[in-house]
Amino acid sequence: MPCVRGPGVSRPRTKCAACKKRIPESEPDVALRRLEDGARRYYHTRCTGAALELVTEAPDVWLMTVRHVEEVAN
């Protein structure tokens, strides 16, 4: 079933790569993007430790960004 986006929804449902639970739009999140191929992983801010562990163990170059709930903070 395709994802139907309504007003105010900026992305499809995203799951945390660490705990596998959905990250709601109302919570900030951490995104890791591998620069080599653009692969992305999303994490709850409370699961940032798992993201940092991946970055330190993998020899790839990663870009880490934090998406805040308020648009002004981004």
Within-domain flag for 53? yes
* pLDDT reported for residue 1: 44
Tens digit of pLDDT at every position of the chain (74 positions): 444 545 555 556 799 999 999 999 889 999 999 999 989 999 999 999 999 998 898 788 999 999 888 766 65
Domain enclosing residue 64, as ranges? 14-73
Within 10 Å of residue 41's Cβ, how many Cβ atoms?
A: 19
By CB atoms closer than 10 A (0-12, 13-18, 19+), residue 30 is buried
Report the alpha-carbon distance of residue 36 to residue 26 in Å, rounded. 30
pTM tops 0.85: no
Q: How many distinct structural domains can be found in the chain?
A: 1
